[in-house]
Amino acid sequence: MVKPWYKQFWPWFLIALPLTVVVWTIITVVVFSQNSVSLVTEDYYKKGKGINIDISKEKAAKELHLKANITSVGNEIIIQFDKGEMQHFPAISAMFAHRTLPDQDFNQLITSDAQGNYRLTIDEPLQGPWFIELTPHDKSWLIQGRVNFPSESATVLMD
């Protein structure tokens, strides 16, 4: 006597294969829709125009012979600033941007001690590659570069 089709192994095995693909596809779509990565900026035209402004600000920093070395010790980030031809150490705005996690980006206004060291204490130590921009309050020049944290040895910006 032959069993009906629904009591046999092979029809259920053949149905299970495409069914698992459908289930995993739905799970993948749900996970990626909730955890999207914004690697491409939406206002790319404005960002492109801003690059030309950044280049002129970088040239202004090079003309003033400005440099910065960045190190980190635990939760403290130390920026050793070489003021070049400037008369004094200005208050600078330090912008830290993570490569792929824009919600972790932050901006901090910091002042120096007499030796030109700017110290920034944060809640948790930074990990991985970060893009850093240093500008004065009038935004007349720009020093920028990439630093891999933790960074016990000095990383030079604008060498």
Residue 2 lies in a domain: no
Domain assignment of residue 124, yes or no: yes
The CATH code of the domain that includes 77 is 2.60.40.10
pTM, whole model, 2 decimals?
0.66
Of 39-48, 96-105, 128-137, the least confident = 39-48
The rounded distance, in Å, linking the Cα atoms of 27 and 46 is 36
**Residue 66 domain boundaries:** 44-157
43-58, pLDDT tens digit by residue?
666 666 556 667 888 8
**Do both 16 and 68 map to the same domain?**
no
Q: Is residue 130 within 8 Å of residue 88, measured between CB atoms?
A: no
* Listed range (12-16, 26-30, 49-53) with the worst mean pLDDT: 49-53
Tally of domains within the chain: 2
50 and 23 inside one domain? no
Range 63-75 average pLDDT: 89
Question: Looking at residues 133-143, what average pLDDT do you find?
Answer: 89
Strand arrangement, sheet containing 106-110: 106-110, 92-98, 128-136, 143-149
* Same domain assignment for residues 75 and 133: yes
- Output the pLDDT for position 86: 84
Q: Are residues 80 and 131 in the same domain?
A: yes
Would you say residue 39 lies in a domain?
A: no
Position 43 scores a pLDDT of: 63
Q: Is residue 1 part of a domain?
A: no
